[in-house]
Amino acid sequence: MRKIQSMISVSNAEFRANEAHNRALAKAFREKQEAARHIRPSRDLERLARAGKMRPRARIEKLLDPGTPFLELSSLAANMAYGGESPSASTIVGIGIVSGREVIVRADDPTIKGGAWYPLSAKKIVRALDIATENRLPVIHLCDSAGGFLQLQSEVFPDRYMAGRIFRDQSILSKMGVKQLALVFGHCTAGGAYIPALSDYNVIVRGSGAVFLGGPPLVRAATGEDVTVEDLGGADMHTSVSGVCDYPAASEDEAIHIGREIVAQWERPRKWECQREPVEAPAYDPQEIYGILPNDVKKQFDMREILARVVDGSRFHEYQPNYGQTLVCGFANIWGFKVGVLANNGVLFNDSSLKGAHFIELCNQNNTPLVFLQNITGYMVGREYERRGITKDGAKMIMAQSCSRVPKFTVMCNGSFGAGNYGMCGRAFDARLLFAWPNHQIGVMGGDQAANTLAEVKLNQMKRNGEAIDQTEIDRVWDETRRAYQEQLSAYYSTSELWDDGIIDPVDTRNALGIAISASLNAPLGESGYGVFRF
Amino acid sequence: MDGDAERETAAVTTPTLPFRKILIANRGEIACRIERTLRSLRLGSVAIHHAVEVDARHVREADEAVEITGETPVAAHLDSAQIIEAALRAGADAIHPGYGFLSENAKFAKAVADAGLVFIGPDAETIELMGDKISARNFARSQSVSVAPSAAPTGDIDAFRAAAEAIGFPLLIKAAAGGGGKGMSVVRGANELAEAARVAASEALRSFGDGRIYAETYLERPRHIEVQVVGDGEGRAIHLFERECSVQRRFQKIIEEAPAPNLSAKLREDILTAAVRLAAKGRYRNVGTVEFILGADGRFFFLEMNTRLQVEHPVTEMITGLDLVRIQLEIAAGQGLPLEQEEAVAKGHAIECRICAEDPERDFMPETGAIRYLDAPTASFLRFENALDGGQKVTPDFDPMLAKLVVHGADRAEAIARAIASLHELALLGVKTNIDYLARVLAHPAFRAGDLHTAFVREHSAALAPPPLDAKTRDAALIAAALGLREFRDIAFGVPEPHATIGGWRN
Amino acid sequence: MSFKISLDGANHNVEIVARRPNLRLRVDDHEYEISAPGDVDDGRRTIEISGNPLHFARAHDGDRQIVRMGGRTLETRLVDPRSEADASGGGQDHVRAPMPGVVVHVHRVPGAVVARGEALLTIESMKLQMTLLAPRDGLLARLPGSVGDAFDKDDIVAELAPIADRD
């Protein structure tokens, strides 16, 4: 495969300006992430230490094989919700290696309100189990939670994809033969008790772990029975009398040690064999991405320049290079895995939509996973394009992409607006993993466009009602709309709501995709076939 | 099988020796060593063993084996009647007693002869004479062989103490009935004498069944020099040169060499002559060793005579090129001395290291364990005398000596260099041994200079301690150990790609 | 997670830092590149550290790994993460009889300080003898049975003094 020849100058003013801007964004992102991961009230940390417990990230580090990567997902979930009370949505999720096997690790964070589940916590856990289901990844639960956050129970408990979905997903995973291990470090109360109960294996720490449908206060209130935590649901009772738990551990260290040994008994997965080639680092420095991304979401850049800093050896075999040039399509390797890349270089026209649909079909035929690099403001609008059938051409691209049998991965590199999000495998289209860069913006339309549209609507309304044109009012509508969109368009908002699987630093994209693709190979390919293409 | 057929025809009396089959009343490395000579002479061998050593090498390498019983394994090997019975039932012609056990038991030698079997060794009277340390000393004195001033015990402890004090201090208390360091201790002052005598007597009673002890003057920095002698029982005897056995711990030899270093020609001649005179005048028959103690002032005194093959006989064999076990058989067969004195020539230098299961860093405490790996170097100049098997358990049932490493060199320096190199190459893992300690002894400048005496080990104990472990060696050992652990290798090598190459990355 | 190996009376950390292009280990504070890791078997072995061959002999004996190199024989032992993590046994106070039977031997008496894994008493049942061990370090508070006493399955046959409550 030929190497992409970069055309940019890394020393000109524009590059340097972009670089300063994007480095600052990356730095701000890392600072936010560090705060969400580590900053806790000292009172909570002290309480944990006094109880002889480890912090959840320390537990994860001990659980993982040394010298192996850990891809954390949605580190900034809930960062713009609940007044910031639930960093990372009080739970840690990631893909790592334990005893040589790829697993999903999910840990409650007891340093935040005792690990209580907020609504977004439940959503994040359900998402983790969806990832496990789609990719057939074993799950290790590190349980230490006070249960549902009662003040928001109506958003945690009753609906289809709320907390109950966790237990339904656990059952389905088990039916699929995908294993789950629960390490009980703290209390698993009420619904939370089902996590270890529905795990195929579980370990419980004596003295701090407990499993019960109702804790001592609830039992006392319900029946008047007076019973201690240990007696009601402690390690010895559950491992020797009730059989709810499998292994007692004298300490958290021992529980982790036992857990690793359990995982070592699991059969190694039979993975689907994606085309693999020898690994080559990109020929261009990934740090240059900071200088390529413009400092304005409306400014265009050539996605090939980004590709050259992400794919192996910067090698790229471009498909239909002369046709539909607003969509770059081609084959590349990422950590040795051959993938089909679709990347936006402008709005989608008829030809680029058709090219995209065709290329997606080629990748499905060739069993090649798909990687979507999004920077899309939408499909082309206008009379000529409608007459040419842009709507049905866009539909064909969506049809091909939706019915794909190969795994799909999406990276929101910049803008993701309107229907363009759909064709390029947005959240609703089951990318196995979907990441966003800090500069990413997402919405039905851009902020300026929305402000302009609503200002115009206000103007037309005034005209219709025969009112005098009040420019200040129009300006106010414009400002408010712009501000609301500003907040809701940002990557931080979307990651807070779990519309993605995490913001990543652009330079981490290759590693994230490599780990993601490797994880996806644990599930067999889907069935071939598409619906009806409107030709 | 061809081998069996060969042995069948050879089992007919060979022209040279009137034996068909010989029972070895011993075990371990000496039994294997004797079996080796028997094999080379095409003679049949019968091994005896206690139940705990049914799988031992000396049993496997013999043509036949007989199980003996006893309250302890050692007790079984001391059961004369049972052993003679075993020899008779097996149809053996002779019994070779090896060293230790019953080899210096006059009653046993007599019982063997009475049973119509040949005892490979001196006759019972000689054993009795030389076996009793006191009568041996008296005999030596009568033959003008100097004897260290001594005192014999009587029932009267006060008289013994007076006699002992007359010798002067320091003095050495020894068991009358046996050697090997048992029942021995150095007494430096009159106040220690009574207690030391009591302890020694009780140890002697336990080890030899005879609680008699005697005391003799203790020379400072004495050297232990012994002479290999061979007698025909008719008054003729020769020597096969001397050995130096000064490097000892707990009065037991750990390094022996032949010939003795730093010995003037005159002194050597005097010692050798005295030994031969003793053997000849005693009408000594078969192979034996006369032990002397040599002071720094050149005075030497008769210590005792061992009427058997010694542990350290290989060093003499290596410098003379002779097979002492074969000589024992030939003399027992009535063939007289194997060569004239002038024909005995010493070439080069030989050193023997006794490999023991013990911890030199804890005062040579005996160790137990199992031999998990054994790999000894081989060379034309090297003998590794042992009866070891991989996986073999080292228990407190028997002596802690596991093996002997014997090397030969053109001169003493070469012998030392070869011995050190061989000890370094020797791998005996699973039980603590003194292998590395012995190498440090050989490398010590005092040893190299031949500045030896029986307190060598104690005098240089600080310098002989293992050098501190440097960080690099320690880390290398930790890495080597980790790479031998399955659980470590599973984690090191069981991680799939691309994770193994990505390494410890976090986003 | 790291491996703790004891050598020369001290515990040392052996950590895996990287695997490519070669296995890279950190032993306490120093890093080493293992250019050739050899195999896992006992016997004479050669590995390469930073390109330099290291010849040694190695044998395992139970949980010991014995390494002979440079004229020294060194004993190492993998420190069990469990025993190292918590010799206090996490609060298990009671020893229960696994089967009905009779006390045949009492090894320790109340008031004795016992170590985790130490024999407390031997019981016999249906010609089968079993020695019951202390589940953790601690003070033996009660051992109600004497030789000849009978007991049922799950009866408490030994009790350790409880450790002060955790917060």
Q: Which residue of B has its CA nearest to A505?
A: B507
Looking at residue A352, its pLDDT comes to 94
* Residue among A103, A261, A511, A517 with most chain B CBs within 10 A, to mutate: A511
Give the residue among A316, A315, A313, A374 at the shortest CA–CA distance from A342.
Answer: A374
- Contact of C83 with chain A, judged by CB distance below 8 Å, is answered with no
pLDDT category at A15 given cuts 50, 70, 90 is: very high
- Which comes out higher in pLDDT, residue A454 or A360? A360
* A26: pLDDT strictly greater than 80: yes
- Residue A327 CB contacts under 8 Å (≥ 6 apart), including other chains: A342, A343, A344, A345, A348, A352, A353, A355, A356
Provide the whole-model pTM: 0.81
Report how far apart, in Å, the C-alpha atoms of A382 and of each of A397, A460, A511, B103 are: 19, 21, 40, 117
B501 contacts on A by Cβ (under 8 Å): 279, 335
Cβ proximity of A350 and A388 under 8 Å:
yes
Q: Indicate the domain borders of chain A.
A: 10-39+272-440+503-529, 42-265, 445-489
* C130: pLDDT strictly greater than 80: no
ipTM associated with this complex: 0.91
pLDDT category at A106 given cuts 50, 70, 90 is: very high
pLDDT category at A312 given cuts 50, 70, 90 is: very high
Same fold, A10-39+272-440+503-529 and A42-265: yes
In whole angstroms, give the CA distance from residue B327 to residue B322.
Answer: 8
Q: Is the dihedral of CA B444, B447, B449, B451 positive or negative?
A: positive
Q: Do A100 and B497 touch (CB under 8 A)?
A: no
Beta bridge partners of residue A443, listed in sequence order: A417
Region B42-71 average pLDDT: 94
Region A213-229 average pLDDT: 90
Percentage of residues in chain C with pLDDT exceeding 90? Answer: 39
* B11: pLDDT strictly greater than 60: no
- Which comes out higher in pLDDT, residue A184 or C117? A184
pLDDT digits (tens, 9 = 90+) for A283-299: 999 999 999 999 888 78
* B178: pLDDT strictly greater than 80: no
pLDDT category at B1 given cuts 50, 70, 90 is: very low
Tokens of C115: 């170590």
- Residue B75 CB contacts under 8 Å (≥ 6 apart), including other chains: none
Looking at residue C87, its pLDDT comes to 41
Looking at residue A487, its pLDDT comes to 83
Mean pLDDT in chain B?
Answer: 91
Residue with tokens 């004996």: C61
Q: Do B494 and A100 touch (CB under 8 A)?
A: yes
Region B189-208 average pLDDT: 82
Q: Going from the N-terminus, what domains does chain C have, and what CATH number goes with each?
A: 3-82 (3.30.700.30), 86-160 (2.40.50.100)
In whole angstroms, give the CA distance from residue C143 to residue A431.
Answer: 63
pLDDT digits (tens, 9 = 90+) for A45-103: 888 888 889 999 999 999 999 999 999 999 999 999 999 999 999 999 999 999 999 99
Q: Which chains touch A (3 or more CB pairs under 8 A)?
A: B, C
In whole angstroms, give the CA distance from residue A519 to residue A407.
Answer: 10
Q: Which chains touch C (3 or more CB pairs under 8 A)?
A: A, B
Residues of chain A whose beta carbon is less than 8 angstroms from a beta carbon of chain B are: 65-72, 75, 97, 99-100, 102, 264, 279, 335-336, 502, 504-505, 508, 511-512, 514-515, 518
Amino acid identity for residue C108 in this structure: R
- Contact of C19 with chain B, judged by CB distance below 8 Å, is answered with yes
* C108: pLDDT strictly greater than 70: yes
Region C94-111 average pLDDT: 84
* A151: pLDDT strictly greater than 90: no
Q: Going from the N-terminus, what domains does chain B have, and what CATH number goes with each?
A: 2-120 (3.40.50.20), 149-217 (3.30.1490.20), 223-459 (3.30.470.20), 470-507 (no CATH)
Lowest mean per-residue pLDDT among A135-139, A223-227, A284-288, B274-278 = A223-227
- Residue B475 CB contacts under 8 Å (≥ 6 apart), including other chains: C27, C28, C30, C32
Number of neighbouring beta carbons within 10 Å of residue A301: 16
* B8: pLDDT strictly greater than 60: no
3-class secondary structure, A473: helix
Q: Which residue of B has its CA nearest to A37?
A: B507
- Contact of C49 with chain B, judged by CB distance below 8 Å, is answered with yes
User: Buried (b) or exposed (e) across A145-175, using 16+ Cβ within 10 A?
Assistant: bbbbbeebeebbbeeeebbbbbbebbeebee
Region C69-91 average pLDDT: 71
Count each helix (H run) and each strand (E run) in chain B, helices first.
Answer: 20, 23
Can you identify the CATH homologous superfamily of domain A10-39+272-440+503-529? 2-enoyl-CoA Hydratase; Chain A, domain 1 (3.90.226.10)
A51 contacts on C by Cβ (under 8 Å): 166-167
Q: Name residues 99-158 of chain C within 8 A of A (Cβ).
A: 136
Report how far apart, in Å, the C-alpha atoms of A264 and of each of A97, A269, B394, C18 are: 11, 12, 36, 21
Residue with tokens 């063997």: B112
Q: Which residue of C has its CA nearest to B487?
A: C3
pLDDT digits (tens, 9 = 90+) for B310-344: 999 999 999 999 999 999 999 999 999 999 999 99
* Beta strands at A210-212 and A180-189: parallel, antiparallel or unpaired: parallel
Helix then strand then coil, in percent of chain B rounded to 5, is: 40, 25, 35
In whole angstroms, give the CA distance from residue A104 to residue A71.
Answer: 10
Query: Which member of B424, B429, B483 has the closest CB to residue C37?
Result: B483
Tokens of B485: 């652990």
- Burial (CB count within 10 angstroms: exposed 0-12, middle 13-18, buried 19+), residue C38: middle
What is the number of residues in chain B? 507
Among A436-445, B436-445, C78-87, top mean pLDDT goes to: B436-445
Could you give the angle at the alpha carbon of C161 between the alpha carbons of C157 and C163, nearest 5°? 135
- Contact of C139 with chain B, judged by CB distance below 8 Å, is answered with no
- Contact of C54 with chain B, judged by CB distance below 8 Å, is answered with yes
- Cis before residue A56, ω within 30 degrees of 0? no
pLDDT digits (tens, 9 = 90+) for C3-40: 899 998 889 999 999 999 999 999 999 999 999 999 99
* C167: pLDDT strictly greater than 50: no
Q: Do C37 and B493 touch (CB under 8 A)?
A: yes
- Contact of C15 with chain A, judged by CB distance below 8 Å, is answered with yes
Looking at residue A330, its pLDDT comes to 98
Tokens of A337: 């895995």
Residues of chain A whose beta carbon is less than 8 angstroms from a beta carbon of chain C are: 47, 50-52, 61-67, 205-208, 236, 249-251, 253-254, 256-257, 260
Contacts across the A-B interface (CB distance below 8 Å): 66
Lowest mean per-residue pLDDT among A433-447, B444-458, B469-483 = A433-447
Looking at residue C126, its pLDDT comes to 65
Q: Nearest 5°: phi and psi at B265? A: -55, -40
Lowest mean per-residue pLDDT among A353-362, B174-183, B412-421 = B174-183
Beta bridge partners of residue A433, listed in sequence order: A409
Q: Do B429 and C44 touch (CB under 8 A)?
A: no
C60 contacts on B by Cβ (under 8 Å): 372, 484
Give the residue among C142, C135, C149 at the shortest CA–CA distance from C109.
Answer: C142
A205 Cα to chain B: minimum distance (Å): 23
A279 Cα to chain B: minimum distance (Å): 9
A34 Cα to chain B: minimum distance (Å): 11
Report how far apart, in Å, the C-alpha atoms of A152 and of each of A106, A156, A157, B117 are: 22, 6, 9, 103
pLDDT digits (tens, 9 = 90+) for B353-404: 999 999 999 889 888 889 999 999 999 999 999 999 888 888 877 778 999 9
Cβ proximity of B91 and B21 under 8 Å:
yes
Lowest mean per-residue pLDDT among A39-43, A138-142, A509-513, C49-53 = A39-43
Cβ proximity of A290 and A300 under 8 Å:
no
Q: Which residue of A has its CA nearest to B497?
A: A518
Query: Which member of C20, C45, C54 has the closest CB to residue B500?
Result: C20
Region A21-40 average pLDDT: 94
Q: Where does A275-407 show beta strands of DSSP type E?
A: 317-319, 327-334, 337-344, 370-376
A315 Cα to chain B: minimum distance (Å): 18
pLDDT category at A418 given cuts 50, 70, 90 is: confident
In whole angstroms, give the CA distance from residue A381 to residue B83.
Answer: 113
Number of neighbouring beta carbons within 10 Å of residue A232: 18
Looking at residue C163, its pLDDT comes to 62
Percentage of residues in chain A with pLDDT exceeding 70? Answer: 100
Q: Do C61 and B491 touch (CB under 8 A)?
A: no
Tokens of B95: 């019994």
Percentage of residues in chain A with pLDDT exceeding 90? Answer: 74
Tokens of A230: 């240990």
* C2: pLDDT strictly greater than 80: no
Region B235-244 average pLDDT: 97
Can you identify the CATH homologous superfamily of domain A42-265? 2-enoyl-CoA Hydratase; Chain A, domain 1 (3.90.226.10)
Region B7-35 average pLDDT: 78
